[in-house]
Amino acid sequence: MGTSGLLLSAAGVFCFFFLSFCAAAGVAQANAIVNQVFMLSVNAAGPIGAGGSIVCDPEGTVIADLPTTDPGVIRVDVDLDVVTRVREVGTEGFNRMWSQMAPDDPVIDLPIYKGRIDPTRWQPRGAS
């Protein structure tokens, strides 16, 4: 997901959908943690895909899964307040990626996106 995931998170996105033909639970969990979002990794069933669809919370905990290659449906209710909490206190209480900038930090130019992050003005949507 890289930079695009972080930018989407900063814009206020709370859930990402990751579509795949291979089971990638570790990747989904890592992306959930890094981007502090619910991650829905939807993987194709057999015989075309490897199955293994999962739903992770913003701390990477698997909260629902379809571990086999059989077709199926996952139904899960997510509490979006969990995203807000994780963004405020951090993953396991440690990683508060949205509060790492100080007002006296230098401006970060983002030429690919024709933008910049100005620490004196930058704060993700929904942050207090």
Report pLDDT for 56. Answer: 95
**CA-based nearest residue to 69, from 98, 85, 40, 47:** 47
Q: Which two tokens stand for residue 73?
A: 């449906």
pTM, 2 dp: 0.69
Residue 21 lies in a domain: yes
Report which of residues 96 and 8 the model is more confident about.
Answer: 8
How many domains would you assign to the chain? Answer: 1
- The tokens describing 49, both together, are 């895909």
C-alpha to C-alpha distances, 86 to 25, 49, 60, 111, 128, nearest whole angstrom: 20, 32, 11, 29, 13
| Residue scoring higher pLDDT (85 or 122) | 85
CB distance 74 to 62 below 8 Å: no
Please provide the DSSP assignment of 88-112 as one string. HH-BTTTB-GGG---TTSPPEEEGG
- In CATH, what number is assigned to the domain containing residue 74? 3.60.110.10
DSSP characters over 35-68: HTSEEEEEEPPTTTS---EEEE-TTS-EEEEE-S
Residue 66 lies in a domain: yes
Question: Is residue 35 included in any domain, yes or no?
Answer: yes
Q: Mean pLDDT throughout 55-59?
A: 94
Q: What is the pLDDT of residue 62?
A: 95
pLDDT of residue 76: 94
- Residue 86, domain member (yes or no): yes
Residue 73 lies in a domain: yes
- How confident is the model over 78-118, as pLDDT tens digits? 999 999 888 888 787 766 665 667 778 888 888 887 888 78
**Residue (of 40, 38, 64, 66) closest to 52 by Cα position:** 66
- In a domain, residue 36? The reply is yes
Split at pLDDT 50, 70, 90, the class of 48 is: confident
Q: Which domain holds residue 43?
A: 2-95
Question: Is residue 113 assigned to a domain?
Answer: no
Judged against a pLDDT cut of 80, whether residue 6 lies above it is answered with no
